[in-house]
């Protein structure tokens, strides 16, 4: 078994925010490769998030961002299980970062399920007209791909995270669940612009 250095553990902890033993186990599982260890942690974070998803979220905060020109304000309601976690600096910073994301990326919906049926129908028709003339067997996959891309651009939870576009907002929420140890849900958001 490869040995993991304290420096590698510290580097992994700084990059992911996980505890020392979690970082050590991930490095051991990945043969000491930090990038592979991050993948191991992301996979385990998904499992942790799934286990906590049914727990009630009655506490939380509203993360607020006000742009320096005073012409844009965003707010995101983020729920968690306990007031203890809601008051932590990490949770409040997370909610603020989500509000900054809403300011930067201007989502229209929270999740793809929130997109009205008439909007999906309109985007489907647009995609079909753009795929006109293509072979019939690939038109359906082109249309599905274009509608999925529209959802990823317009839905907060499906958007690439503004601080790290290799992750979606949903993945960032799952990482926060793993780090903070509680179920976390983004309930709603608003964007006010002059």
**Roughly how many angstroms between the first and final C-alpha of the chain, as a whole number?**
59
C-beta atoms surrounding 180 within 10 Å: 20
CATH no. for 59-110+155-193: 3.30.479.20
**Residues 85, 91 contacting (CB under 8 angstroms):** yes
d(CA 80, CA 52): 11
pTM beyond 0.85: no
Predicted confidence (pLDDT) per residue in 148-182, tens digit: 999 999 999 999 999 998 999 999 998 888 888 88
Rounded to 5°, the CA angle 110-53-147 comes to 35
CB neighbours of 64 closer than 8 A, spacing ≥ 6? 73, 74, 75, 96, 99
Q: Domain limits of the chain?
A: 6-52, 59-110+155-193, 116-153
Orientation angle between helical segments 34-52 and 169-180, nearest 10 degrees: 80
Q: What mean pLDDT value characterizes the chain?
A: 86
* CATH architecture designation of domain 6-52: Orthogonal Bundle (1.10)
Predicted confidence (pLDDT) per residue in 2-40, tens digit: 567 788 887 877 776 666 777 788 888 888 888 888 787
| Structure token digits, residue 192 | 């006010």
């Amino acid at each position: 078994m490869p040995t993991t250095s304290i420096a590698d553990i510290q580097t992994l902890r700084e990059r992911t925010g996980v505890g020392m033993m979690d970082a050590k186990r991930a490095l051991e599982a990945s043969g000491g490769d930090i990038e592979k260890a991050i993948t191991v942690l992301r996979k385990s974070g998904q499992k942790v998030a799934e286990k906590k998803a049914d727990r009630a979220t009655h506490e939380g905060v509203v993360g607020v961002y006000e742009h320096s020109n005073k012409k844009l304000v965003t707010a995101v309601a983020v729920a968690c299980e306990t007031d203890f976690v809601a008051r932590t600096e990490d949770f409040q910073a997370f909610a603020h970062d989500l509000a900054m994301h809403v300011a930067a990326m201007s989502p229209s919906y929270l999740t793809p399920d929130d997109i009205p049926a008439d909007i999906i129908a309109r985007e489907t028709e647009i995609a079909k007209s753009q795929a006109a003339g293509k072979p019939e067997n690939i038109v359906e996959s082109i249309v599905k791909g274009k509608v999925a891309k529209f959802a990823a651009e317009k839905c907060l939870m499906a958007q690439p995270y503004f601080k790290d576009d290799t992750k979606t907002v949903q993945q960032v929420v799952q990482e926060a669940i793993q780090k903070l140890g509680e179920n976390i849900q983004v309930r709603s958001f608003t964007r006010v612009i002059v």
